[in-house]
Structure 1
Amino acid sequence: MRRIAFSLFLLVFFGCMNKHHNFYNESDYVLVKTDSFNGKVDRELYVYKYDSARKMLINYWDNGKVMGKGFSYKGQLDGSLNVYDMDGKLSATDSFSKGKKISSKEFFTPDTSVKIFRNGKMEPFTSIDSLKQ
């Protein structure tokens, strides 16, 4: 009986120690602070429920859409930092490890509102090369 109890204890003890957590799973973060201005949420600070040194910060545009979302560990950026435009579309994402940028990628939609007046008519601007004749 003692052997069974001891084996069960070891199984539970070592089973709990070997849990690997995904530091960037947003559902594992708990909201601890909300800043607002004129009744609109400006930013929210979340703390990782398994390690209070890990944080997630979300900033919002005035229209309520997410402006940016990023993770930090011990005050340094760690993980992804996503930046969104005012319509909520992802415009850039950077990856960090211990405060150092590892990678960066920008997403954008070309501005089709720019036109060129050429030969008496309006033409769409497609690239710098389209300016050459």
Structure 2
Amino acid sequence: MTDKTILTDAEWREKLSPEQYHILREAGTERAYTGQYDKFYEEGEYYCAGCGQKLFDSDAKYNSGCGWPAFTAPSEGESISEYRDTSHGMIRTEVRCANCEGHLGHVFPDGPPQAGGLRYCINSAALDFAKADLEEDKAPGPD
């Protein structure tokens, strides 16, 4: 990735909803079990709500019961960045969009062992979803 999305604070405030701004630009968190993608399992791809960078595929999403969308791994490539987070008296690993540096959530080592053991706990408001085009997956039929 060569061209990062860099906007002024005023441009981010204009582009994002107040909740998205709080989460993506101020490292906020939505309340557990309130996000639109917590219990959402359609096939498709998840993108950064700030800049449109592809972040996760639906086949990596699972129900962790934590109250936020959970993924076992980011999509291919370097779509996310990880940082040490010592806020709130805890030591965690923060996950940000590698393109716009928007805060997405955190990654924890308590995910499904058979899928690598990681749980990417992501705020719904930091994500946009694009439904898979299932027509592309169908093989052409005989004439």
Q: Same fold (TM over 0.5)?
A: no
| CA radius of gyration, larger in | 1
Q: Identify, as 1 or 2, the structure richer in strand.
A: 1
TM (norm. structure 2) is 0.25
Structure with the greater relative contact order (CA < 8 A, sep ≥ 6): 1 or 2? 2
TM (norm. structure 1) is 0.27
Q: Identify, as 1 or 2, the structure richer in helix.
A: 2
